[in-house]
Chains A and B, each alone.
Chain A
Amino acid sequence: MSAIQPPPDRIWWKQPLDRVEGTWIVIAFVWCMVLFFMMPYWHIYGKQNLSNEAYRTTPEMFSKKTQEVVDKYTVRTETELKIPVVHPPAGSDVYLIARLWQWWPMLELEEGKTYRLHLSSMDYLHGFSLQPENINIEVHPGYEHIVTVTPTKPGTYSIICNEYCGINHHTMASKLYVVKK
């Protein structure tokens, strides 16, 4: 009998397991448990976990808070669009707006310091993609996501959008500077 015909025995549930199958099921099950427990393990012992801290917000509320930080800590502007570059105090709250088709403002952070980065979108979904670190976080409109980040190496990083957000999606890019204290 084959897989395209009904099982030949009326009661097939009691057929003994073959040794190949039994052994493999045990091995595979153990591996699946390893796969599972790596996630809680990393929450306790690992350093790269996405924050669960999020709030409901509105574009108006979020841009107001962003504007306050920009007004206080802008150190210069860049490109002909005069995008402010914000250098907030180490350990403070940093705001980043995603909107069609721009990240605003630009950020300058200090190496080895920890910041609370607030992310929200003004319109569609956007994808915060930090390169070349390759850290990728989804940015939603109406939600404020607070991620604690610690830049480890000085340099110029790129933030590109990797969630499709319309016809000029591929132009949405910005810089993030990490400087030595």
Chain B
Amino acid sequence: MSIATPSPDLDDDDLDEPIPAMQQLLDNPFLLLFIGVAMPTVLYIIWGVMEIVGIPIAK
């Protein structure tokens, strides 16, 4: 098994520079999966179901 080597014109500065946080987020499909499922689950389903459960009984 060979290991890919960075091409020579990548200088040290470039490799030392940390990846910005937003790019790290975008490069992490599983973190995105978590956020993408959690957001609508909380904001749409849970909030919506709580409102339905809280509907008062007619007099």
Do A and B make up one complex? yes
Residues of A within 8 A of B (CB): 10-14, 54-57, 61-62, 143-144
Contact partners of A11 in chain B: CB under 8 A = 14, 17, 19-20, 23
- Chain B, residues 18-59, CB within 8 Å of chain A (1/0): the string is 011011001000000000000000000000000000011111
A58 to B42, CA, bound (A): 29
Q: A10-B10, A10-B14, A11-B14 are in contact. Are A61 and B20 (CB under 8 A)?
A: no
User: Residue A56 contacts which of B19, B20, B56 (CB distance < 8 angstroms)?
Assistant: B56
Task: Give the A-B pair count, Cβ closer than 8 A.
Answer: 32
A56 to B58, CA, bound (A): 6
Q: Which 3 pairs between the two chains have the least Cβ-Cβ distance? A: A55-B58, A13-B23, A57-B58
Contact partners of B22 in chain A: CB under 8 A = 13
Instruction: Indicate if the CB atoms of A54 and B20 lie closer than 8 Å.
Output: no
User: Residue B55 contacts which of A10, A12, A55 (CB distance < 8 angstroms)?
Assistant: A55
